Amino acid sequence: MENALVVTDVKKRYAGGTEALKGVSLTIPKGEFFALLGPNGAGKTTLIGIITGLVTKTEGSVSVFGIDIDKEPERARSLIGLCGQEINFDPWMKPLDIVVNQAGYYGIPRSVAVPRAKRLLADLGLADKSDQIGFKLSGGMKRRLMIARALIHQPKFLILDEPTAGVDVELRRSMWDYLTTLTKEGITILLTTHYLEEAERLAKHVAIINKGQIVANGSMEDILALHDGTASGYGGGKLEDVFMQLTSTT
């Protein structure tokens, strides 16, 4: 089966000396809904930055649908849609323009981009906001706008770095439905989240990263089976217990 992503022994040492990734290997088959979980500072955003060409790696290799990101960076990037952790659009711009402008980076003509952007904004429940200035949107609306923008060039691989942070329960559920329809259309998704019940509901595969190293990687069933059966007292679900056992510093 074709793989959407193959990460091989990737290391990252930042200028200050922090070893953010200490040899990470990861494979995501095409069509998968994959969750990358880990505590704050584990290295998730760093790994995503490397995959999307925003961060230079120190060692290792990455390929996206068989394309090496070092050899053909633009081609690899054109296959990826990124909804980053930080809200990073121009707050003075209107949602429709934000999404249409993004299309320009991929050489998509306006005549194609405008109807496509309108459709995406409507699908994400932002149709009536497309002429509202960006900073007037609520936090949840900003997140949805970032997803619309990430999809404008019809990427085969969508990377979402904490897309539901600060999003209320109802909206989060509608985002889950939306992401599920995307995977049904064949889009591969890599999601990071601190809401473990969200990962448990959506993802077929999970990797847990801690201090720059993958500490568990497998199907959701495999990961849940790591549970030793004893209630941890954390009061969360099974995935939360496993997560805490693998990442707890105490």
Out of ligand ATP, Mg ion, none, which partner does residue 124 contact, by CB within 5 to 8 A per kind? none
| Cβ nearer to ligand ATP, comparing 61 with 85 | 85
| Cβ nearer to Mg ion, comparing 85 with 132 | 85
Q: Which chain residues interact with ligand ATP by CB under 6 A? A: 14, 16, 18, 20, 38, 40-46, 85
Three-state secondary structure string covering the chain: CCEEEEEEEEEEECCCCCEEEEEEEEEEECCCEEEEECCCCCCHHHHHHHHCCCCCCCEEEEEECCEECCCCHHHHHHCEEEECCCCCCCCCCCHHHHHHHHHHHCCCCHHHHHHHHHHHHHHCCCHHHCCCCHHHCCHHHHHHHHHHHHHCCCCCEEEEECCCCCCCHHHHHHHHHHHHHHHHCCCEEEEECCCHHHHHHHCCEEEEEECCEEEEEEEHHHHHCCCCCCCCCCCCCHHHHHHHHHHCCC
Cα 39 from Cα 193, distance rounded (Å)? 10
Q: Can residue 193 be called a binding residue for Mg ion (CB under 5 A)?
A: no
| Cβ nearer to ligand ATP, comparing 52 with 78 | 52
Tokens representing residue 112 in the block: 């194609």
| Cβ nearer to ligand ATP, comparing 130 with 193 | 193
Out of ligand ATP, Mg ion, none, which partner does residue 217 contact, by CB within 5 to 8 A per kind? none
Residues 39-98 that bind Mg ion (CB under 5 A): 44-45, 85
Residue 93 beta carbon to ligand ATP: minimum distance, rounded to whole angstroms: 26
Out of ligand ATP, Mg ion, none, which partner does residue 180 contact, by CB within 5 to 8 A per kind? none
Out of ligand ATP, Mg ion, none, which partner does residue 84 contact, by CB within 5 to 8 A per kind? none
Out of ligand ATP, Mg ion, none, which partner does residue 42 contact, by CB within 5 to 8 A per kind? ligand ATP
Out of ligand ATP, Mg ion, none, which partner does residue 18 contact, by CB within 5 to 8 A per kind? ligand ATP
Residue 120 beta carbon to ligand ATP: minimum distance, rounded to whole angstroms: 26
Cα 10 from Cα 12, distance rounded (Å)? 7
Residue 117 beta carbon to Mg ion: minimum distance, rounded to whole angstroms: 27
* Contacts to Mg ion by CB under 5 A: 44-45, 85
